[in-house]
Structure 1
C-alpha cells in the first residue's frame, strides 16, 4: 500500500456517503492507533480490506475512548482494546490490563484464606504491614522459617507456632500475615476464632451440622486456631471438638498454628477445669500433648494496640 494518509483519504472520498458519515470515517481512520496499525500492516491490507473492516475499526475507536475514560459501559471493563490482523481483516481483541490482572491475583490469593469470624484487618494482613518491633522479631523469624521449609517440603511434617502474649500485642495479625504469605505461595489456610467457633458448634447440634463444620476445620490444609483458652469451655467442646480436631491433625501431621493469651502450661491447667467445675487432668494433658506436638511456643510482646 502506498502512503497511508493518501490511501485513507481515497477510501473516504471513494464512498458515496453523506457528510456526517464521512466525518465519522475521517475520525476513525485518523485515529493515531488506527493509522499506526494500517501503516504497520500496509503490505497485507488493501483498500477493500480496510473498508470491510470499518465496523471493527469503529468498535475499536469507541471502546478505546471508553477505556481511556474508565467508562464502565465499555464492552469489556478492565480489558484494553487492541487491533489485530486476522487474515487480511482487521479485528479487535481485548487484553486484560495490569490492574485487572493484579485484582484477579488478589482475589485468587484471598480465596486461599478461609477466615472464620475474623476481623477484616486480619483478612488483609501481610508480613509487609506487620509492625516490626523487638517483641515480634522472634515470631516473625519463626513464621518465615516455617513458610520457607513448608514451601520446600509441603508433604513433610512441620511443627507450627503457638503464639502467646497479652491482649492486643498483634498475635492474631501475625497469624493473618502468615496465612497471606502462604497464600502467595499457593497454600490454603483456615483461620478460626475458637471462642466463636465453639459457640457455633453448640448451635450446630440442633440442625445436625456438627459433622460438616468439624470436618471443614480439622481437615484444613493449614489451620490457625486463634484465641484458644479465651472461651468458657465445656467438656463437650474440649473433648469432642478441640480434642477431635487436634487428634486428626496430629495423626495426619497437618500444620496447626495457635494464638493464646496464656502459655502452654497455663492452658493445660485451664483445660483441666470445665465451666461446670469438673476437673480432668488426664484429658487436659492428652490435649496439650497434641498441641505441643503440633507447635512450638513463641512469646509475642509489645504495646496493647487495641487501647491506642
Structure 2
C-alpha cells in the first residue's frame, strides 16, 4: 500500500463526507477509495471512520489522525514545492471558482496570460455568485467579496470594491431622476428598484445609502430581484429600475451611455475582495501561482483598489 496515497485518500473522505464524493474528486473508483481506507485502518489497527449508508463520520482516533495527516501532507507538499523545478514550473489541474462579473470582466479576458506563464496548469473555472464549499466541492481556491464567514480558511485580501447608484437613460426619461434615496422608497415619480438576492439563502439585499453619518437601507418598491451580478447589470441597462453596482461593473456601460450615475453624493461601504483557499492546500505551487497572479490582476486595476477613504 502506498502510505502517502492512502493518507491523501483518507483526508479527502473526511473532507468530502462520503466515499462517493471523495472518489469523484480524486477521479478514482469508489471501490479503490474504500479499499485504501480499509487497508489504512488495518495497518493502524484502529477504526478511523464510522460508515452509514448516506455519510461517513470521523471517530475520535480518526479525527486525531486526520489533524496530524493534514499537517504531514502539507509538509510533504512543501518539500516538493520548494524544489526549483516545482516552483518555477507548477503543474496539475486547478479548480477555481469566481463570481460571474469578475469572471467575465477580469479573469477570462486575461486568462491567456496565466496559461502562457504556467502552461502545465490546467484550470477548471467555476463561474457563479453562489458560495461554494471549498472542501466538499474539492475547490482549490475562490475569489469572493465580503467578510469571511469561515475563519478556518486562508484568505488574502486583494482588493476593495466601490459601489455606485445607477439607472438607464431610458428609465430616467420615463421616471425622472431621483433627488434623494427616499424618492425610491416613497415611489416619487413611480420610481422602483432592482434588488439583488442571495442564490443560497434567498436573502434580499437592500439598496444602501450613506452620507454624513446618515444610513438608509431601502428595499422597494421593486418588481424584480436578481441573483446573478451579470444579470443584475443587464436588468438595469434594460430600464428595470435603479440599482447599485461596482464602479468596476459600471465603467463601460457608463462610458457607452447605457447607464447613468444618480445620487452621487450618497455612497456605500467598500466591499473587500479575498482570494480564499483551504488551509491544507496553502503550500501547493499551483495554488500559489494562481493566487499571486490574481493579486497582480486586482492590483493593476484602479477600480478594484478603491482607497478606504473613498466610501
TM-score (structure 2 length as normaliser): 0.20
Structure having the larger proportion of residues in strand: 2
Query: Taking CA–CA contacts closer than 8 Å with sequence separation of 6 or more, which of the two structures ends up with the larger relative contact order?
Result: 2
Q: Flag the structure with larger Rg.
A: 1
TM-score (structure 1 length as normaliser): 0.20
